[in-house]
């Protein structure tokens, strides 16, 4: 190491880019920064693409049985309540997998490996289901499919949280979540066509093969974090370590992700809201085709078309909710969910009290219900991950996902028996009832009735840097009060300034102060 630049390092007229000069160092740093930014954008694009494709095929695996349900029940001579048993078993496995898979994702497993396992297991279960002919095997393989479905979204959510800042996360979340609606719409149309031409077994086996092959997408395209690729985000939130990494880095004490979630009252309100939402969602997806065919007189093709547009309008609703929460409500998710939940109550009430045998009327109502269901579904998971410590993302998603599975369980066999005993009118009444429960629980969150002290959906900068160490909920009413106080303060300041100016113009100032006043007025 020398004390000064060598002769070869000194700038000269014959050297265009001296290797050791400061100018060369500046160019190297700039080039490295540009290359890092380009690689980051490229990797983020792959993450979004992989999340979208994985979510698409996961939802195909969850809804492929619905597209061939009528043919399956007729071919195997099964009662309609048997499908309720299958649906409830799948949803129970889904809840169990969500609850414990979330904690496992925080402590033990990498997101990419978990997603590959989920896709492979879901596809294999669908293939085996198509090859089976006994009720026991139907139940077993559909339960296995539920286990795979439960651990599918958690790794996607963790990778999105690590790769994107909060200011852009909701939009990327909506892109990935929109694949649910597109996947459901795709299997509703293609599955009905395959079933009509080749039978229900072909629908299950062909969709299962496609899902299993889709496991190559996260394996080849997705990475667990920017750090694993040698990249970094400016003010990134992904730098917050997981509970396992925190334990390795801080021997003084172990971070308990369970305490960070289960001791927060907001977590339970969100879980109950998710339960109510998934009762409504699963009730519509699982039973509305039979409702439209038996009670409204539509054909199977017309009923399947309504489900197709249900998914398309849900796609639009998810994007509308995400963009409005980012741009209009500045990251406050709960008010948007409350407004869309009231829309869900009204639309389900129309489905109940204003029956029609015309295709257009039923198509319109079912499509609007899809719009108001998928908006809250998208934002509830985003709000859940933003309300707790980021190191417990998997745990809160597991809790919320478990309650979503319980809601799906209730909408399966219990609601199926309830419909069998009391008819379709009582079924529609239950859908309206749980839509109202969803709205009331979210309204309690928005009004600040969750805990003794008001909570804050949108954290300030210090809380963001601290990793949500003490999350609270800021209600809409408090925001309006704060804006009103700021507006009143600005108005009072302007009044005082105007009064002071008028006094200085009307009154004659003492001679000693005249030069000082002139000098003050002459200052720019």
Predicted confidence (pLDDT) per residue in 241-258, tens digit: 434 334 434 433 445 666
Is the separation of the CB atoms in 107 and 439 below 8 Å?
no
The predicted pLDDT at position 368 comes to 93
The residue to which tokens 């997981």 are assigned: 242
The predicted pLDDT at position 504 comes to 63
The predicted pLDDT at position 483 comes to 60
Q: Average pLDDT in the 277-281 region?
A: 90
- Rounded-to-integer distance, Cα 376 and Cα 333, Å: 9
pLDDT band at 102 (very low <50, low <70, confident <90, very high): confident
The predicted pLDDT at position 120 comes to 92
pLDDT of 375 > 80? The answer is yes
The predicted pLDDT at position 477 comes to 47
The predicted pLDDT at position 210 comes to 92
- Rounded-to-integer distance, Cα 108 and Cα 15, Å: 55
pLDDT of 298 > 70? The answer is yes
pLDDT of 186 > 90? The answer is no
Q: Average pLDDT in the 151-163 region?
A: 83
What single DSSP character describes residue 456?
A: -
pLDDT of 478 > 70? The answer is no
Task: Name the most confidently modeled range: 198-202, 322-326, 327-331, 386-390.
Answer: 198-202
The predicted pLDDT at position 505 comes to 58
Q: What Rg do the C-alpha atoms of the chain give, in angstroms?
A: 29
Domains of the chain (ranges, CATH numbers): 28-227 (1.20.1250.20), 257-497 (1.20.1250.20)
Question: Which two tokens mark 168?
Answer: 């852009």
Angle at 150 between CA 176 and CA 198, to 5 degrees: 80
pLDDT of 13 > 70? The answer is no
Between 299 and 120, where is the model more confident? 120
The predicted pLDDT at position 498 comes to 72
pLDDT of 518 > 70? The answer is no
pLDDT of 521 > 80? The answer is no
Select from 270, 272, 368, 278 the least CA-distant residue to 87: 278
Task: Name the most confidently modeled range: 60-69, 157-166, 406-415.
Answer: 60-69
pLDDT band at 296 (very low <50, low <70, confident <90, very high): confident
What single DSSP character describes residue 4?
A: S
For residue range 19-66, list pLDDT tens digits in order.
344 444 333 444 555 566 788 888 888 888 988 999 899 888 888 888
Mean pLDDT of the chain: 74
The predicted pLDDT at position 161 comes to 79
The predicted pLDDT at position 242 comes to 37
Between 209 and 226, where is the model more confident? 209
The predicted pLDDT at position 29 comes to 42
Inter-CA distances, 40 with 45, 78, 231, Å = 9, 53, 7
The H or E element containing residue 381 is helix 359-386
Between 482 and 169, where is the model more confident? 169
pLDDT of 463 > 50? The answer is no
Between 17 and 435, where is the model more confident? 435
Q: Which ranges in 131-236 belong to alpha helices (H)? A: 135-150, 153-163, 166-198, 200-213, 216-221
The predicted pLDDT at position 461 comes to 40
Between 79 and 167, where is the model more confident? 79
pLDDT band at 436 (very low <50, low <70, confident <90, very high): very high
The predicted pLDDT at position 124 comes to 92
Between 477 and 506, where is the model more confident? 506
The predicted pLDDT at position 502 comes to 67
- Rounded-to-integer distance, Cα 195 and Cα 71, Å: 7
The predicted pLDDT at position 33 comes to 52
- Rounded-to-integer distance, Cα 109 and Cα 114, Å: 7
For residue range 356-365, list pLDDT tens digits in order.
888 888 889 9
Return the percentage of the chain with pLDDT > 90, whole number.
10
- Rounded-to-integer distance, Cα 413 and Cα 445, Å: 30
């Amino acid at each position: 190491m020398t004390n000064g630049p060598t002769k070869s390092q000194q700038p000269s007229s014959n050297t265009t880019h001296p290797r050791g000069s400061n100018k060369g160092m500046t160019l190297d740093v700039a080039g490295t920064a540009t290359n890092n930014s380009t690689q980051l954008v490229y990797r983020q694009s792959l993450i979004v693409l992989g999340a979208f494709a994985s979510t698409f095929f996961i939802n195909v695996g969850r809804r492929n049985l619905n597209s061939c349900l009528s043919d399956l029940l007729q071919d195997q001579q099964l009662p309609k309540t048997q499908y309720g048993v299958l649906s409830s078993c799948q949803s129970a496995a889904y809840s169990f997998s969500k609850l414990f898979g979330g904690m496992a994702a925080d402590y033990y497993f990498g997101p990419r490996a978990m997603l590959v396992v989920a896709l492979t297991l879901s596809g294999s279960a669908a293939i085996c289901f198509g090859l089976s002919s006994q009720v026991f095997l139907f139940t077993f393989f559909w339960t296995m499919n539920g286990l795979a479905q439960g651990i599918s979204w958690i790794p996607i959510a963790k990778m999105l949280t690590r790769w994107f800042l909060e200011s852009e996360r909701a939009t990327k979340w909506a892109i990935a979540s929109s694949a649910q609606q597109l996947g459901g719409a795709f299997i509703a149309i293609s599955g009905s066509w395959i079933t009509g031409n080749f039978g229900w077994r072909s629908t299950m086996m062909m969709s299962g093969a496609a899902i299993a092959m889709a496991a190559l997408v996260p394996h080849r395209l997705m990475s667990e974090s920017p750090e694993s690729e040698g990249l970094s985000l400016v003010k990134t939130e992904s730098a917050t370590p997981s509970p396992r990494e925190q334990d390795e880095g801080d021997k003084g004490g172990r971070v308990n992700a369970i305490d960070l979630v289960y001791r927060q009252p907001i977590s339970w309100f969100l879980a109950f809201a998710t339960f109510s939402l998934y009762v409504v969602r699963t009730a519509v997806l699982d039973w509305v085709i039979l409702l439209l065919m038996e009670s409204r007189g539509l054909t199977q093709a017309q009923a399947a078309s309504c489900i197709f547009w249900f998914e398309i309008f849900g796609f639009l609703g998810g994007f509308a909710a995400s963009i409005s929460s980012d741009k209009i409500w500045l990251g406050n998710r709960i008010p948007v969910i409350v407004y869309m939940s009231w829309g869900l109550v009204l639309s389900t009430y129309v489905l109940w009290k204003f029956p029609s045998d015309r295709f257009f009327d039923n198509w319109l109502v079912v499509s609007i219900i899809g719009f108001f269901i998928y908006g809250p579904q998208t934002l509830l998971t985003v709000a859940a991950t933003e309300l707790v410590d980021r190191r417990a993302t998997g745990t809160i998603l597991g809790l919320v996902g478990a309650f979503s599975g319980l809601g799906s369980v209730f909408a399966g066999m219990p609601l199926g028996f309830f419909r069998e005993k009391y008819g379709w009118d009582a079924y529609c009444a239950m859908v309206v009832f749980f839509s109202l429960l969803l709205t009331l629980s979210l309204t309690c969150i928005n009004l600040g009735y969750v805990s003794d002290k008001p909570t804050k959906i949108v954290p300030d900068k210090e809380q963001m840097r601290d990793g949500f160490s003490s999350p609270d909920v800021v209600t809409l009413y408090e925001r309006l009060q704060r804006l009103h106080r700021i507006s009143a303060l600005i108005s009072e300041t302007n009044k005082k300034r105007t009064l002071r100016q008028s006094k200085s113009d009307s009154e004659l100032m003492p001679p000693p102060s005249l030069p000082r006043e002139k000098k003050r007025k002459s200052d720019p």
